């Protein structure tokens, strides 16, 4: 019994309805009412003239201010991806010039190191070319001497 109640309570929690929001905007004298439920936006354009008391009574509405809907449409809004805001240009022209100067200094340093590497490689190649290649001599292996001891005859 308890398991059934817990299961029903869990399922009831999973089936909650999305929150509905209603707001209106006005542009060029046209009032647009938005009813937003989840990703669905129902849009209604209203007339500028309010309904008369006779029209309100005939429609069976409570007392209040009512307007006719001229146009209604439903729009599904796609999920908006997270916006990545570009970083503002916080560096001034002076700091840009300093950075460009550092880059140029590093470029010259890299060229100097490359030239030094080439010079050293030429020295190594020249030294290798001057030394005659000698065939490898076999290394002497130590021989074990058999001690010959005089044998006594019997």
d(CA 16, CA 10): 11
Distance CA 118, CA 110 (A): 12
Cα distance between residue 56 and residue 61, in whole Å: 6
pLDDT recorded at residue 128: 83
Q: Write out the chain's pLDDT in tens, 154 residues.
A: 555 555 555 555 555 666 778 888 888 878 888 888 878 888 888 888 888 888 888 888 888 888 788 777 777 766 655 565 555 555 577 788 888 889 999 999 999 999 999 999 998 888 888 876 566 666 666 665 555 556 665 5
Element spanning 116, H or E: helix 93-130
- What average pLDDT does the chain have? 75
Q: Are the C-beta atoms of residues 83 and 43 closer than 8 Å to each other?
A: no
Return the closest-CA partner of residue 28 out of 11, 52, 45. 45
- Residue from 66, 77, 86 nearest 40 by CA: 77
Between CA 75 and CA 43 the distance in angstroms is 8
d(CA 79, CA 74): 16
57-75 confidence digits (pLDDT tens): 888 888 888 878 877 777 7
Global pTM exceeds 0.75: no
């Amino acid at each position: 019994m308890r398991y059934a109640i817990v299961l029903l309570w869990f399922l009831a929690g999973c089936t909650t309805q999305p929150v509905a929001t209603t707001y209106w905007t006005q542009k060029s004298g046209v009032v647009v009412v938005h009813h937003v439920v989840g990703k669905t936006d129902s849009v209604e354009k209203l007339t500028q003239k309010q309904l008369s008391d006779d029209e309100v009574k005939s429609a069976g509405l409570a007392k209040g201010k009512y307007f006719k809907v001229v146009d209604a449409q439903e729009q599904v809004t796609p999920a908006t991806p997270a916006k990545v805001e570009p970083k503002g240009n916080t560096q001034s022209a002076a700091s840009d010039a300093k950075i460009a100067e550092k880059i140029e200094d590093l470029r010259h340093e890299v060229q100097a190191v490359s030239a030094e590497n080439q010079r050293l490689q030429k020295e190594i190649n020249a030294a290798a070319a001057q030394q005659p290649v000698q065939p490898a001599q076999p290394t002497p292996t130590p021989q074990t001497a058999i001690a010959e001891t005089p044998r006594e005859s019997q």
